[in-house]
Structure 1
Amino acid sequence: MIRGWPVATVGTERGARRRRGGRRAGVLVAALLAAGLAAGCTSGGSGDDGRGSPQESPTATGPDGRPLPPVLAVKIDNAPEARPQTGLDEADVVYVEQVEGGLSRLMAVYATQLPESVGPVRSARESDLELLRQFDQPLLAFSGAQSKLLPLIDRAPLTPVEPGSKDDAFTRDSARAAPHNLYVRPHRLLDDPPGEAALTTGFRHGPAPAGGTPEDEVSVRFPAARFTFTWSDADRAWKVSMDGAPATDGDGDRLTASTVVVQDVTVRRSGFRDFLGNNTPYTETVGSGKATVLRDGRTYPAAWDRATAEDGTSFTTRDGEPLNFASGPVWVVLASGD
């Protein structure tokens, strides 16, 4: 149980070693303690991320004022060998992030529904910790991380879920080659989805603003990846393509988004490298900048602002008015503004 809600218990040998080493800060969630895994820091608590900043997260509550169960975030492989992915069509929010070599990975967030399977699951990055601070003690499903990053994950206000932390939560697809064949089963982690109120992203939904520019297709380029969003009047959604090919789910159905955000961010070098020695980019999601919002077959110039890591991100029009998103899945492409 997390804050009185049914959440599958999680425990790892690595979590036990963390406690013995005395490196955990914050309050232990009762069910995770019983299962043998220390939680990073409950909402409203504080710690340290190795850079002196507080480790806090917002508290999501339902209409009755009760704390909500956490959202589930899954780090998803986006190499060509990993496609088509599973479970992306049921995500409430999909973040597109740059990784080593100019390639991309995805972070899918689930609050209103839980797929049977999500993946392929891959490793976490330092940027993920800042991105996820906007949620209340989220579950983060991932497969490994650099050894120097693990202490930061330990101290982050989230619950890490890795292979081995829950015996039946992860499975391998024998028809695919490793490492592109690991999947997580969300129902083994959460009994029920937490609901829309747990999406403390700062996004607003409602009628489209005035103006906008009619647009049939918008492409965003990373150094070694490309995403294209094509408007479909029939579907009332943006069809997703990756590297020039239609993006589909495991059943062959096209992936779509009701709203697409191309968010100009700073992508800088981090203090981490992959096993080949390539520097891992760090995507800064706290701050402010320009963005382009796609909805209803139109594009809208916008400004984004996220004052602290605990805040969601607000989007406003050129006139400073809140910019509403369309109801449905949101894709956020975190693109370098350089």
Structure 2
Amino acid sequence: MKKITFIIPLLLCISIVGCSYTDTKSSSTKPFKRESPPVIDVSSNDTVTNDCCYTGEKLTETEKSNIPFMAIIENSKDARPQSGLSEADIIFETMAEGGIPRFIALFHKNTPKQIGPIRSARPYFLSIAEEYNLPFAHCGGSDEALSTIKTDSSIKSINEIVNGSYFYRDTSRKAPHNLYTSADKIRKYITSKNIKADIASNLSFDNSFWKNKDLSNATVVNLKLNNFYVTNYKFVNGKYEKYMDGVKSIDKNNNLPLTFSNIVVQQTPIKIQSDNLHLDIAMIGKGSGYLFSNGKVEKILWSRSTSNTQTELTTEDGNKVYLSKGNTIWHIIDNSVTPAYN
């Protein structure tokens, strides 16, 4: 991705600036019949009776009533190790300025006591939050993202700039890599503001999908996303352990490695805007990708028709794709990048 790497020096110059309202310019398996996913209003904390639609896992009675939400989490080297990522149901990872990655994580099943470092919003993160119709925590944003938040009332922004009591600074870290929140704080905000949060996902889960002997092995997955960031995965004890820049990724909260049942790789056009800093990432449309699970790989197609619909995943011949039960990391990468695996 040569086209987005030359701006690293500029990013490094602006990375010392704290959060603000505006960033400076700075397989052939036969598919099963499945009903449409339920949409459940949890704003009143009514008990939810279905299993987790984000992971396919069984939920306890307490977990069923949890309000789902998302949080934008920094992924520069200074932000690692992050807090709370091991407890997310789905983590979306894509690029911010200068080819430095950033996460937006979805939490439902678990209640992490610390989440962060929290960072600023971009239009494509808004698109992901809108896709799942969930409130999301962040600190400021780009001009474009903040303008969209201001004019589109359907976007459920929880901005630290105007809601500081629901966030806090960790004095053991230097700004701007020290802003955190918690599941309890964000859920308290959602309840106090009577924000409607939907539990809805079109993801399907069936472990037997991955017993197809025709699927290729993929016990090691490597993603060189640019000259400055590499992430790879090793399949160990039924999960993919994540490494970033050659270092095993852990959760600061519990020292546990970041492991995933599924890795989705969604390929799409990523272009630099006219300011030579911010990115345009195509979230609506069609494209190809890969799904890794259970030490295997399935080449996939993705499609999303509008901003308020969810991304559909199918096999290359148009059949339904099934994930293994468990958590997922979802990479959104440029078309020029191809994962290497064996």
SS in 2 for 1:76: strand
Residue number in structure 1 paired with 2:255: 252
Alignment-mate amino acid for residue 39 of structure 2: A
Matched, 1:181 2:188: no
The structure 1 residue matched to 2:243, chosen from 238, 241, 244, is: 241
Kept in 1, the 8 Å contact 2:291–2:299? The answer is yes
* CA drift at 1:318: 2.6
Residue 201 of structure 1 contacts residue 311 of structure 1 at CA under 8 Å; is this kept in 2?
Answer: no
Letter in 1 for 2:321: L
Contact 1:260 1:330 in 2 (8 A): yes
Query: Which sits farther off after the overlay, 149-158 or 242-251?
Result: 149-158
Q: Give distance in 1, aligned partners of 2:204 and 2:178.
A: 35
Structure 1 SS opposite 2:240: strand
SS at match of 2:232: strand
Amino acid aligned to 1:296: N
Checking the alignment, whether the CA contact within 8 Å between 1:97 and 1:106 is kept in structure 2 is yes
Structure 1 unmatched ranges of 5 or more: 1-13, 15-57
C-alpha distance in 1 between matches for 2:143 and 2:80: 27
* Paired residues of 2:126 and 2:145 also in contact (CA < 8 A): no
Give how far 1:256 is off: 0.5
Q: Note closer, same or farther for the CA distance 1:200–1:284 as it changes in structure 2 (3 Å cut).
A: farther
* Counterpart check, 1:219 vs 2:222: yes
How big is the shift at 1:168?
3.1
Aligned residues between the structures: 270
The residue type paired with residue 143 of structure 1 is C
State the match for 2:5 in structure 1.
none
Cross-structure match for 2:109: 112
Is 2:136 aligned against 1:144? Answer: no
- Which residue of 293, 296, 302 corresponds with 2:294? 296
- Please name the residue that 2:333 is paired with: 335
Residue of structure 1 aligned with 2:232, choices 212, 228, 233: 228
1:50-129 matches, within 5 Å, as: 60-61=39-40, 71-129=68-126
Instruction: Give 1:153's aligned residue.
Output: 149
Distance (whole Å) between structure 2 residues aligned to residue 215 and residue 178 of structure 1: 39
3-state SS in 1 of match to 2:131: coil
Cα RMSD over matched residues?
2.6
Identity in percent:
24
- Call closer, same or farther: CA 1:98–1:148 in 2, change over 3 Å: closer
Contact 1:212/1:300 (8 A) holds in 2: yes
Structure-2 change in CA distance of 1:208 and 1:148 (3 Å): closer
Structure 1 residues 192 and 279, CA gap change in structure 2 (3 angstroms)? closer
Aligned to 1:23: none
Answer with 149-158 or 169-178: which moved more: 149-158
Which letter maps to 1:141? A
Kindly provide the amino acid, as one letter, of the partner of residue 328 in structure 2: V
Contact 1:305 1:314 (8 Å CA) reproduced: yes
Higher RCO, 1 vs 2 (CA within 8 Å, ≥6 residues apart): 2
Shift of 1:186: 2.1
The two structures have a TM-score, normalised by structure 2, of 0.73
Q: Unpaired runs of 5+ in structure 2?
A: 1-20, 22-36, 42-47, 51-64, 192-196, 337-342
Q: Structure 1 length as normaliser, TM-score?
A: 0.73
Pairing partner for 1:319 from 317, 320, 329: 317
Aligned counterparts of 1:332 and 1:300: Cα–Cα separation in 2: 14
Cα distance, 1:140 vs structure 2: 1.5
Corresponding letter in the other structure for 2:233: F
| Pair 134,99 (structure 1): closer, same or farther in 2 beyond 3 Å | same
